[in-house]
Amino acid sequence: MNAIAVFDSGLGGLTVVKALCEHLPQEEIIYFGDTARVPYGGKSRETVIRYAREISAFLLSQEIKALVIGCNTASAYAADLLAAELELPVFNVIDPLIEEISACQAEHIAVLGTAATVRSGIYQARLAQKIPNVKVTGISCPLFVPIVEEHFQNHPAARLIVEEYLFRVKDERMDTVVLGCTHYPLLYCLIREYLGDEVRIVDSASACAKQIQAALFSHPFNNSLSVKGKLKYFVSDDPERFKHLGEQFLGVEIGPVECVDLNSVLQIPQNFAKSG
């Protein structure tokens, strides 16, 4: 049974895994968290692409049938490239979220993201194409990922940081907030508390899972609904810490976590499409 592989810079992509388990409980899922190099938000485009290629090379060795880029920064910089290079379906967390937002009657959208995601301008450009006359404001939130990775969501400092980043949403009367990083849903309660109920908040995990579900059901490589899928976890550093925090995020025991040395998988595997 070939698996669906999901990768992220750290813990945030577990929000995608959780959504996939809800929508596709029969599927085997492999997760890779690049915990040695988190966060990606301050990295250059070239560096993020290199990371994405290295992780993809490892995941291809696990006999996967689809790859999910469970990181907005990697989706912004590497999704099109990986889709062109790999000989299997590649999903990202940006495209399905754009489609979901397009169905809303939004007038002023705040895109919360890492510095790299906001700098890429991908949400701003694609939303402007989809929604005529919409105003899109990118808000860089560089401390959100460390808050989640260090499990500081309940610390008083987290509330102050949310207020510091999001005061513009209130001041400029933005009606929709996009959680443009898969770590950010883990701060949903703080964000909702600060913004109140009148602001629409959307995130990518559920939208991404629904897109993958539709794609798999329309192809013969979807697994039998009678099968209970298994989950495997890999990280690039500190598996015990990942296991501890991951179980708190998912609310279930996640089993063994294997640490992988990515330096051993730098060669592009045969599963990559050959150029020429």
**Range 154-159 contact pairs with CB under 8 angstroms and sequence separation of 24 or more:** 158/187, 158/190, 159/190, 159/193, 159/194
Report whether 10 belongs to an annotated binding site.
no
Over the stretch 141-185, which tens digit does the pLDDT of each residue have?
999 999 999 989 999 999 999 999 999 999 999 999 999 999 999
Over the stretch 110-147, which tens digit does the pLDDT of each residue have?
999 999 999 999 999 999 999 989 999 999 999 999 99
pLDDT reported for residue 248: 84
Q: From the candidates 21, 104, 141, 181, give the one annotated as an active-site residue.
A: 181
Report whether 203 belongs to an annotated binding site.
no
pLDDT at 229 over 90: no
Q: What secondary structure does DSSP assign to 127-182, as a single string?
A: HHHHSTT-EEEEEE-TTHHHHHHTT-TTSHHHHHHHHHHHHHHHHTT--EEEE-ST
Complete domains list, the chain, with CATH: 3-92+206-265 (3.40.50.1860), 95-204 (3.40.50.1860)
181 in active site? yes
User: Could you tell me the pLDDT band of residue 227, with boundaries at 50, 70 and 90?
Assistant: low
Q: From the candidates 21, 71, 208, 259, give the one annotated as an active-site residue.
A: 71
71 in active site? yes
Report whether 12 belongs to an annotated binding site.
no
Report whether 182 belongs to an annotated binding site.
yes
